[in-house]
Structure formats: structure tokens, C-alpha cells
Structure 1
Amino acid sequence: MLTGDKNLRQAAEQENVVVKGTLWIVEAMLTQQLIDSQTVRRAYQSMKQKGRRLPWDEAEKRLLAIEAKP
């Protein structure tokens, strides 16, 4: 299940449903080379400015790790 809703995530996990969110889908798109890291940075900046609640430290950590790969 793909969701960014905390309550829905918790309910799904209690039912043993695999739950993915924004960070997962962004990583998948990067891995498949559908987008590049600069696109992600712009998208994250836009989401952050609009008040989107994400684990921003984790998002930055993952993006840096992806950018560091050869």
C-alpha cells in the first residue's frame, strides 16, 4: 500500500500489509532513472515549503547516499 497518512499506515501495519510512502517512491523513481537527484531536491524543497510532513532528515540522508553512488 502506498500512503502518506499516519493513521492509515498504522492500521495497515496492524493488518500486516506492506506500506510504502513518499521516500520509497522517490527512491524507486531515482533507481529506475525516471528522475534525477536535482529533480528530487526541487520536489522536496517544494513539498517542504508547502508544509508537507516527511522525515526530512531521513530524506536528505537517503538522497546524499544515492548521489554518492558512482
Structure 2
Amino acid sequence: MSEQKRKIGFTVACVNEFANRHRLSSKEAFQYLFQFKGIAFIKENYDVEHTLDFETVLEDLGILCKKMGVHYEIISWK
């Protein structure tokens, strides 16, 4: 499998895990993470993040979102 396919697969898995944790659809989770730089974070930090468990990756995304001034617990995309 190419490196690009691995990165895409990891990003999709992160979005799905984020969606499950926060009871969002995959589309809502992607939109949120894209808007608040979570997708860029995953892309830029793939070399480290893909070696971690999803719990840690989700914590990292939470820290990033809080730095952006957004608390995903209160966001509703609907």
C-alpha cells in the first residue's frame, strides 16, 4: 500500500473515531475537524500520530481544538 493511501486511511479512521466519541456523523466530524484545523494537524503530524493509539490522537485533536477556542462538546452541526 502506498504511503498516501495509508495517510488517507488513517485520516478516515481518526474522523470516524472522533465522530463516534462525540456522537456526530462522519460528515459532521470531518467538517468540524477541517474547519478547526484538525485535518491539517493529522496531515502535518502523521509520522508521529499514526504510531499512537486513537485515545491519544483524540486527546491531541481536543487540545488543538481548545487552542482554536472551540469546545466540540457544545458544537452542533445540525
* TM-score, L = length of structure 1: 0.31
Higher relative contact order (CA 8 A, sep 6+): 2
Greater fraction helix: 2
The structure with more radius of gyration: 1
- TM-score of the pair, normalised by structure 2: 0.29
